[in-house]
Chains A and B, each alone.
Chain A
Amino acid sequence: MRKQKLVMIGNGMAGVRTIEELLKLDSELYDITIFGAEPHPNYNRILLSPVLAGEQTLEQIVLNDLDWYKSNGVNLHLGKTITKIDRQERTVTANDGTVESYDRLLLATGSLPFILPVPGNDLPGVIAYRDIKDTNEMIDVATRYKNAVVIGGGLLGLEAANGLALRGMKVTVVHLAEWLMERQLDQTAAELLQKSLEEKGLNFLLKTSTEALISNAEGDRVGHIRFKGGLEIPADLVVMAAGIKPNTSLAESAGLHCQRGIVVNDTLQTFDPRVYAVGECASHRGTAYGLVAPLFEQAKVCANHLAEHGIGRYEGSVTSTKLKVTGVDLFSAGNFMGGEGTEEITLADPIGGVYKKLVLKDDRLVGACMFGDTADSTWYFKLMRDEQSVAEIRDTLMFGESNIGDVGHQGHNKAGGMTDADEVCGCNGVTKGTIVKAIREQGLFTLDEVKKCTKASSSCGSCTGLVEQVLMNVLGTDYSATPRKKSICGCSDLSHEEIRQAIRTGHLISQEQVRNELSWRTPNGCATCRPALNYYLISTWPHEARDDPQSRFINERAHANIQKDGTYSVVPRMFGGLTTPAELRRIADVAEKYKVPTVKVTGGQRIDLLGIKKDDLPAVWKELNMPSGHAYGKSIRTVKTCVGDEHCRFGTQSSMKMGVELERMLFGMYSPHKVKLAVSGCPRNCAEAGIKDVGIIGVESGWELYIGGNGGIKTEVAEFLCKVKTDEEVREYSGAFLQLYREEAWYLDRTVHYLARVGMEYIKQKVVDDAESRKTLYERLLFDLKDAPDPWKDFERAGVDVRQFKTIPIVEVGNV
């Protein structure tokens, strides 16, 4: 069968990204032809500003070199402008007479600069700022002339002005509005920006409109600019940066419906079903986007439909702004001006050069405008995109959160203040310089891409916020924030939430069912989705869905912790941190018999035997004759206890007894991530219950329950849930909360992340206020944990494949 023909007009970032996404989904479906008017392969238009500023070279910003087109079988026509589309014959014609037919046509013609209709706008030395040609001309002019005027004080104009000033020109920015970047900043922030740019040597003429451009004395290029009111200043170079307009003339001449852009639906299809449009030329729900992040979202959806998968809709984007001028920290997003029905929280320190404004509507963050301190901008942007209620954190909202861990990056929380040699990712030893270089040279746009290429933030994740800041600083506005709906992994476009729901409502009990019903792209998933699916299945349908050991990480498959040399560590359970002389003797015997190189007391009040060979594990377990400590699992780990009133003169409650009871109740509990508890017998809190998933503190009149604490990457203090009287209540309330977490959290979320997502009010309502809800949650937990097998003893029921503990010997022929 003949392959279908896909023709793309335009060879820019949005278009080529669509082709890349399409090739990923189906590389066989189409013969692809691309027409580009510029003589260059696809390059990173965003980085023209750093090129102009002398921070990067043109070679460095190429995204897809000619080899890429060749190796993907893409037929590329460079330097050819399409002049005609014939929708009846389904052909396109280029200015050199080339004719190409299509089955599907993709328009990615981008935008054109708006050139002021004033006399002299066609003089040599009057240019726009859109492409490599413009950039080269500006670099060249800067070596020979002195005075530059930039018309337009928006994002592009200011970046151009900054670049020209760095190249030694005297630059004046002319702007029609009352303040700079009026579409992205309020007046206060804009004035701070202007002040800091003036300190860099730029001049500004606000509320000024241009009347004419006048040629120089020789009459060979522009020499002066005259404004309304008569003021005239020298200008050897005039850069028009007063705005862009979607390039729709070709589409219009082909009779496609255009209205400030080529009108497309949520699948990026134009009014002609064979014709799609993406990027700056497309108008979606009345908006033509000019930033890369939304364009890449469009690319993904469009590719999906071109590949005939037919899933996914583009529903518009919330965009944010960040100026790419080194040393200027500025951020704005959403409805930053406020207005009817909105409330504002502001912080202004004009002398310190810091200004922050947050705009709220109905308890949700709808806009932000910041200058001088933008460390928390990624967090604010996330709150906006997630439309998360901020009612509970309103009083501290202004001070930011920064999703940055406490450790691993030298205490830094602002990427801007770090040098290239400073370490961002302490796990993998990745410096800021390495990340910046990778973003620039390999054309990265998203956190995931940075993770993949540099490994930064790919281990513990505590530096994710910092990496996002670095991305934002390098790419400016075009930083592509993690999409609102985060898919589970590359195997599916569905989110954790959607998958959990599908498993529940569809009563799915096996991974094959899930992958079939939800159209997985891979035959058996990957190392990211398999463990998650396995957990979702067994936690949603306990005693019904079958646990799949091959979908568990090695530690949960071998029931021991793998170490860097491939040996394992074994931690037997000591309920509540209590042990006996007999147990200690057996541990000592095992340690000697199996020559255990390291015996260590753990933070969870038990003993770790490190360096055991995998083949020895079953024998070690048998001889220890103690229950599995599950120190290897996304599961209940330990219940740490203090001595309590049985011995301690300050004790008010029997914390050891309570701890042992809780740990016995929760034995064998698998969960989205590890779960740690602690019970203290008085408020001195020697068991450190304040940093546990569930912390219980005894007081004279009963027990206080705290949830969502964490002592790891980012220290989080547990929040007060409620106070109860009896031991049975402690079990019921703790159990109900843990079951809620088990049923609703996303895989690998700790309780603190779950709590942050759903809010304390919600949990209180389900666990404290509604007695019926609490009881059923608790009952479901007990049902799930009923007869939980000990994987160190009951291999059969715990699904432990014992073949893994036997190395296959080489048996010489003859003995076979």
Chain B
Amino acid sequence: MSETAQLDQWQKITTLEEIPILGARVIRAKVGDVAIFRNSENEVFAILDQCPHKGGPLSQGIVHGKTVTCPLHSWNIYLASGCAVAPDEGCTKSFEVKVESGVVWLNREELQRTHG
């Protein structure tokens, strides 16, 4: 992929270093607040910062394995899919994300869609 094509499709967000391990950062996008998580394996995930239960800010939850626990009512949400761990049900939007040489990119188009 050429440098320009990459820039067109992907939006540079931040660096891996700027996200705490087992923590999250929030970006304010057109689509709404997006939470970017980093787990202990240095995997990065991006989901809408809204719990499917009552809209709690997932970015503020405790991150473990590949899940986060919502700070409001302790639902567990899979970071990759944005969906609740059973027996709870519901999904929040998940976003494409990639990390290259320590830089975190999100899909530009996804960020600019209006939340619906």
Q: How many residues on chain B are close to A (CB under 8 Å)?
A: 38
Is the beta-carbon distance between B64 and A527 smaller than 8 angstroms?
yes
Contact of B69 among A453, A526, A811, A816 (CB under 8 A): A526
Contact of B40 among A523, A531, A809 (CB under 8 A): A523
Q: A181 vs B54: C-alpha distance in the bound complex, in angstroms?
A: 50
Contact of B65 among A459, A522, A804, A808 (CB under 8 A): A522
User: A618 to nearest B CB, angstroms?
Assistant: 16
B74 interface residue per 8 A CB criterion:
yes
Contact partners of A810 in chain B: CB under 8 A: 11, 13, 27-29, 111
Task: Render A797-816 as a binary contact track against B, CB cut-off 8 A, 1 for contact.
Answer: 00001011001111101001
B61 interface residue per 8 A CB criterion:
yes
Is the beta-carbon distance between A564 and B62 smaller than 8 angstroms?
no
Nearest to A551 among chain B residues (CB) is: B62
Contact partners of B21 in chain A: CB under 8 A: 550
Is the beta-carbon distance between B25 and A808 smaller than 8 angstroms?
yes
User: B107 to nearest A CB, angstroms?
Assistant: 13
**A550 and B62 in contact, given A801-B20, A801-B23 (Cβ under 8 angstroms):** yes
Q: Is the interface of B mostly helix, strand, loop or mixed?
A: mixed
Q: A419 vs B43: C-alpha distance in the bound complex, in angstroms?
A: 50
Contact of B20 among A453, A526, A527, A803 (CB under 8 A): A803
A757 interface residue per 8 A CB criterion:
no
Contact of B64 among A524, A566, A809 (CB under 8 A): A524
Contact partners of B69 in chain A: CB under 8 A: 526-527
Contact partners of B23 in chain A: CB under 8 A: 550, 801, 804
Nearest to A458 among chain B residues (CB) is: B74
Task: Render B34-56 as a binary contact track against A, CB cut-off 8 A, 1 for contact.
Answer: 00100111000000000000111
Is the beta-carbon distance between B28 and A803 smaller than 8 angstroms?
no
Task: Render A546-567 as a binary contact track against B, CB cut-off 8 A, 1 for contact.
Answer: 0000110110011000101010
Contact partners of A813 in chain B: CB under 8 A: 7, 11-12
Task: Render A58-79 as a binary contact track against B, CB cut-off 8 A, 1 for contact.
Answer: 0000000000000000000000
B84 interface residue per 8 A CB criterion:
no
Q: A522 vs B65: C-alpha distance in the bound complex, in angstroms?
A: 7
Contact partners of A566 in chain B: CB under 8 A: 55-57, 60
User: A529 to nearest B CB, angstroms?
Assistant: 9
Q: How many residues on chain A are close to B (CB under 8 Å)?
A: 31
A530 interface residue per 8 A CB criterion:
yes
Contact partners of B73 in chain A: CB under 8 A: 459
Q: A162 vs B54: C-alpha distance in the bound complex, in angstroms?
A: 46
B97 interface residue per 8 A CB criterion:
no
Contact partners of B14 in chain A: CB under 8 A: 808
Q: A562 vs B76: C-alpha distance in the bound complex, in angstroms?
A: 18
Contact of B87 among A453, A522, A526, A809 (CB under 8 A): A453
Nearest to A453 among chain B residues (CB) is: B87
Is the beta-carbon distance between A808 and B40 smaller than 8 angstroms?
no
Those of A757-816 within 8 Å (CB) of chain B: 801, 803-804, 807-811, 813, 816
Is the beta-carbon distance between A523 and B62 smaller than 8 angstroms?
no
A452 interface residue per 8 A CB criterion:
yes
Those of A725-766 within 8 Å (CB) of chain B: none
Contact partners of B55 in chain A: CB under 8 A: 566
Q: A525 vs B57: C-alpha distance in the bound complex, in angstroms?
A: 21
Is the beta-carbon distance between B54 and A564 smaller than 8 angstroms?
yes
Nearest to B28 among chain A residues (CB) is: A807
Is the beta-carbon distance between A807 and B71 smaller than 8 angstroms?
no
Contact partners of A554 in chain B: CB under 8 A: 60-62, 71
Is the beta-carbon distance between B60 and A525 smaller than 8 angstroms?
no
B22 interface residue per 8 A CB criterion:
yes
User: B116 to nearest A CB, angstroms?
Assistant: 19
Is the beta-carbon distance between A803 and B60 smaller than 8 angstroms?
no
Is the beta-carbon distance between A803 and B18 smaller than 8 angstroms?
yes
Nearest to A522 among chain B residues (CB) is: B65
User: A284 to nearest B CB, angstroms?
Assistant: 32
Contact partners of A803 in chain B: CB under 8 A: 18, 20, 25
**A562 and B60 in contact, given A524-B40, A550-B23, A813-B12 (Cβ under 8 angstroms):** yes
Is the beta-carbon distance between A809 and B56 smaller than 8 angstroms?
no
Contact of A807 among B26, B64, B76 (CB under 8 A): B26
Contact of A808 among B20, B27, B72 (CB under 8 A): B27
Q: A531 vs B74: C-alpha distance in the bound complex, in angstroms?
A: 13
Contact of B22 among A452, A453, A458, A524 (CB under 8 A): A524
Contact partners of B76 in chain A: CB under 8 A: 527
B83 interface residue per 8 A CB criterion:
no
User: B73 to nearest A CB, angstroms?
Assistant: 8
Is the beta-carbon distance between A809 and B27 smaller than 8 angstroms?
yes
Contact partners of A550 in chain B: CB under 8 A: 20-23, 62-63
Q: A557 vs B60: C-alpha distance in the bound complex, in angstroms?
A: 9
Contact partners of B54 in chain A: CB under 8 A: 564
Q: A807 vs B27: C-alpha distance in the bound complex, in angstroms?
A: 6
List the 3 closest pairs (A to B, CB-CB), nearest first.
A527-B69, A527-B62, A554-B60
Binding site for B on A (CB under 8 A): 452-453, 458-459, 522-527, 530-531, 550-551, 553-554, 557-558, 562, 564, 566, 801, 803-804, 807-811, 813, 816
Binding site for A on B (CB under 8 A): 7, 11-14, 18, 20-23, 25-29, 33, 36, 39-41, 54-57, 60-65, 69, 71-74, 76, 87, 111
- 28 A-B pairs with C-beta separation under 8 A: A522-B64, A523-B64, A524-B40, A526-B69, A527-B62, A530-B62, A550-B20, A550-B21, A550-B22, A551-B22, A553-B62, A553-B71, A554-B71, A562-B71, A566-B57, A803-B18, A803-B20, A803-B25, A804-B20, A804-B23, A804-B25, A807-B25, A808-B18, A808-B27, A808-B28, A810-B11, A810-B27, A811-B12
Q: A527-B61, A554-B71, A803-B18 are in contact. List 13 more A-B contacts (CB 8 A).
A: A524-B40, A526-B62, A527-B62, A527-B64, A550-B23, A550-B63, A564-B56, A566-B57, A801-B23, A807-B25, A807-B33, A808-B18, A808-B36
